[in-house]
Structure 1
Amino acid sequence: MLAEVLNRIPRQHVVVSATTDGFLTSAPREHIDLTGPLSRRYQRLCWWALPGSDMLEVKHGAEQVVCMKTRGQLTARPMAGQEIVVAKAGVQPTVRITKQMTPEQIRRAQNDELLQMYLHRTPGSTVVLKAFPSLRDQWEKGVDLIKASNNVRMSLEFDLKRRLVDARELVVLGWNTTHVAASTQPWATVAEFELARARLDQLRAPPRKKRAPARADAPLNAEVEGFCIKTVDDVARLEQEIGRGRARGAARAQGRPVLNMGRDGLRGMLKRAFLRVYTRNEMGLVRKYTYTQMAQWFTDFGLATTTQEVKTARTQPVVLASVPRAGPVMELLRELEILFPEADLRPLLVSLDEAEDSPYGDGGARGGGGDDDEPADDDEEGDPN
C-alpha cells in the first residue's frame, strides 16, 4: 500500500524517507492520490475501525529538513502551526531540561543540539551512547538493568542504500552554513551496493594509534584522516573510490594489472598511463615535446610532475583499460586530445560497456592487484600510488 501511494506522488515533489507507518514528502496532503485499489481497501478498513477517520494525517511539518543516515531527519527551519520533524537515528543528544519546558520545547532543544552536532561533525566526532546491558551480561555477570554511558564514534553518514545523484551544496536556513544535498536512485545490483558500502567503510575507517607508513596505494590517506560526506568534493572523492574499487575488482577477475591511485587522484592515474604510451610513441602519439616540456604542461594543469618522472615512465609497463571514466579524468583527456589530435587515448580508459555498469558512471573495470601491479610505478619524485 505504501509503495502505491509513493508511486502516485507527482514527480515535482520530493520523498525524503518512508517507514512502515508514514513518510516524509514535500507534497501537500491534497496532492497525494489515494484512489489506488490498495489505498481504497485500506481506507475502508480505517472507516471500519474508526468511522469518519482518514488513512493519512499530517503529523509534522518543516520549511527545511536536514537528513542524516537513512531515517534520521532534523528541522532546520520550522513550519508555522506544525510540530517539528525530529528523528534522531539512535543518537541521544544531551540537553538541559527544566520543569517549565513543554514536550515540544524539549523536542526543539534536542533537535537544535543534534543539528549542531551533525552540521559541525568531523571524522573523529563522538557521541554518548546510553544502553542497557545485554541479556547475557545480566544473566552471566549479574549486571543490574541500568543504562551505561559510552563514548562512541558518530555514525550519521548516509549509508548508501541508494545511489547518490545530482549532488549539490545548499544553505542550511538559520544556521549560517552549507551542507551537501543529493537525490537518490536505486542501485542496479546488490553487488554495486556492497562495493559502494565497502569503499565508504574504508574511507571512514578510524585512525590507528600505531601503524606502519601508508602503503603507496592507500586511498588518499583515508585511514589517517577519516571521512565525512559534507561537501560536493566529499561526494566526488567517494565516487573516485567506488570507481577505483570496481576497476580493481574486475581486473583481478581477468588477471590484468592496473595503476594505483595516489594523492593526485584519478587525474594522476590518467597522467601516468598517458606518459607510458607517450614515451613509447604508441597509440598514434608522436613525441613532439621534450620530457621537460611535458612535465611543465602537467604541472601547469595542476598535476605536479618532474622531468625525471616523465623519463622514468618509459621503463614502466603500459596498462590499458584501467582509468575510470570520472569527470576529472574526462576533463584531462579532452585537454590531451587537443594537444595530440592525432592520438587515440580511449584505450587507456575502462571500456564503455563496463563504464555503463559503474555505480556512478565513472567507469568500472580494471583493477588489478597482485604483484604485477607495477609496484614501483610511482615512487619516483615523491608521487606515491
Structure 2
Amino acid sequence: FNRTPDQKLVYTVGIGIKDMVRHDTDFVSRSVEKYLRMEFDWKRRPIDVRDEQVDFAGKTYRHLSFDTVPLEEVGEFDAYREAWDGFNKKTKRCLRTVSEFEGFTEYMETKKLPPDISAYMGTPTKRLRRDLCRAFKNREAGFESVLSKRRVTHQEFCDALSDCGLGCKITDLDNAKRYPFEPHHSAATDEVITILQKLKDRHFPELDIGAFLPEVDDTVVEQVAA
C-alpha cells in the first residue's frame, strides 16, 4: 500500500534444474533482487476508478481500485503502453490513488505521445461521437426516453449529429453496438458542450448531457451554449 517506484524486494530462491545441468553445479540458493512496482499491465481498459478502503494486518489503508473491460483493438493497447512508458520515462511512478491515476490519464490527453499514438487516442469530438453512438445503441443517457416515444433510424441519428457539427456514419453505429456506454468519458471542452446542447435543443430534448461530461456544472453548460 505504501510502495515506492524504486522499492526493491530481495529474496532467496534455489536455482533450477536447467541451471544445475548447464553449469554442472549442485543445488544451491541465490539472492534475487527485483523492483516491487506491481503496476497494471494495461491489457484491459480501467473503468469505475475509485479509492477503496482495505483492512490489512490490523491497519486500514486506502488504495486505487477499478474494474476493467476489454480493449477495442490492439491499437488501444499500444496507446496505453506507449503512454505508460512515456509517463515513466523521466520519473518512475506508482499508481496508488485516484489522483495518481488521473495524473496518468491527463498525460495521455496532453498530446505528448508520438503522432501515430496520439492520433489513435482521438480528439474530444471523436470520443463524443463514440459515446453518443454507444448511448444511442444501448438506450442510455436519455435515449431510452427518446426511443420509447418514437422510432429513430440510424440515418436520422447520423443526420442529427451532422446537423450539430458532428459528422457520423452508419458504420460508427455498427461499431458502437458491440460496446457498453460508459458515462462521463467525453471531454468537457467548449466544442463538445456546444454540440451536446445543440443536439438536445434541435433533436433530442430528453438527452442527458450530464451523462457524457465529467462533473460539469449546469451553469457552465448554459454559458457555453449561449
TM-score by length of 2: 0.45
Tell which has more relative contact order, 1 or 2 (C-alpha 8 A, sep 6+).
2
Bigger radius of gyration? 1
TM-score by length of 1: 0.28
Structure number with the higher helix fraction is 2
